[in-house]
Amino acid sequence: MIPCRIPKLSSLKLKPFSSISLQKTPLESPVSTTNLASPLTPHFLEQSARSSQWHFIKQVESSLTPSLISQTLLNLHESPQVVLDFLNHFHHKLSDARTLCLAIVIVARLPSPKPALHLLKQALGGGTTNSIREIFEFLAASRDRLGFKSSIVFDYLIKSCCDMNRADEAFECFYTMKEKGVLPTIETCNSLLSLFLKLNRTEAAWVLYAEMFRLRIKSSVYTFNIMINVLCKEGKLKKAKDFVGHMETSGVKPNIVTYNTIVHGYCSSGRWDVQARKT
C-alpha cells in the first residue's frame, strides 16, 4: 500500500485533478478497474482511499451520496490521515452537516489540531446552515457512534468560535459541554476569557471565571493574568494588585506578565506616580 503523504493545512482546498502513476509493490493491492462497472459501495471507496487511487473515485464522483460517504468514513475511522486525504480531494461533497461532523470527529484524532480546526471553521463559516447547537449535537452523536472517549473535538469547536470572534456561540458551547458532563480544558477556557477581554466584555469574563471555579477547572498563570487584565480594564487597580495574592494562595506563581499588566494598568490610568510613592 502506498503511504499517504501528510498534506499542509492549505492542501485542504480542492486542487485541480491530475493523473497519477501507481507503482505496484508486493504489499499493494490495486483496486481493479472492473469494479467500476459494479455498484458503487463503501468497500470500493475505502479500498481506493487506502491505496490513494483517487482517480477511480473521481470517475464515480457524481454518485457520491452523504450516506455512502458516511459509511466509508466509518470504515476508515481508525485511519484519520486517510480520511483527511479523502477530504482533500472531495471536501466539496460534504455539504451534509452530519457527514462533515463525522469527518471532523475522526480528523480530530490527528496529532495536529489544525485540520480539525480548519474543517470546523468551514462548518461555522457557511459550510452548513446549522446552528452551533446542532453542530455540537452532530459532533456528539458521531463521537458516541464511534465510541471515542476523548472530548477534544468540543474544545476545538470552542476554539474555532473564538478564532472567529464568535463569543456568544463559544459560550453556548461551553454551557452545552457542562450539560453533557464534559469539562473543557483550561486552555479552551483561557481562549474564551481572552476573547471576552478583547471584546471588552468584562462582565461575561467574570461569569465564565465563576463557572470555571464551580466546575473546579484549575486556573493557570495565563488565566490569572487575563483576569488581572480584566480588573485593570475595569479601573479596579487595587483589586488587580490584591488578585496577585489570591493567585499565590492558589499555588500559582506570578510571572513578569503579571506585574507588567498591573504596571500598564496604573500607567494607562495616569496613577503610576501615586502608586510609586506608596511603594
User: Mind listing the pLDDT tens digit for each residue in 117-169?
Assistant: 999 998 898 756 789 999 999 999 999 999 999 999 999 999 999 999 999 99
Q: What is the mean pLDDT of the chain?
A: 86
Looking at residue 92, its pLDDT comes to 83
**CB neighbours (10 Å) of residue 269?**
13
- Region at 184 (left for phi over 0; alpha for psi -120 to 50; beta for the rest): beta
CB 106 within 8 A of CB 83: yes
Binned at pLDDT 50, 70 and 90, residue 273 comes out as low
Task: Compute the distance between CA of residue 76 and CA of residue 40 in angstroms, rounded to an integer.
Answer: 17
Angstrom CA distances, 94 to 31, 36, 128, 137, 167, stand at 24, 22, 9, 17, 26
User: Mind listing the pLDDT tens digit for each residue in 188-217?
Assistant: 999 999 999 999 999 999 999 999 999 999
Task: Compute the distance between CA of residue 268 and CA of residue 35 in angstroms, rounded to an integer.
Answer: 71
pTM metric for this prediction:
0.81
CB 85 within 8 A of CB 124: no
Task: Compute the distance between CA of residue 135 and CA of residue 123 in angstroms, rounded to an integer.
Answer: 8
Task: Compute the distance between CA of residue 129 and CA of residue 12 in angstroms, rounded to an integer.
Answer: 21
Contacts (Cβ under 8 Å, ≥6 apart) of 229: 197, 261, 265
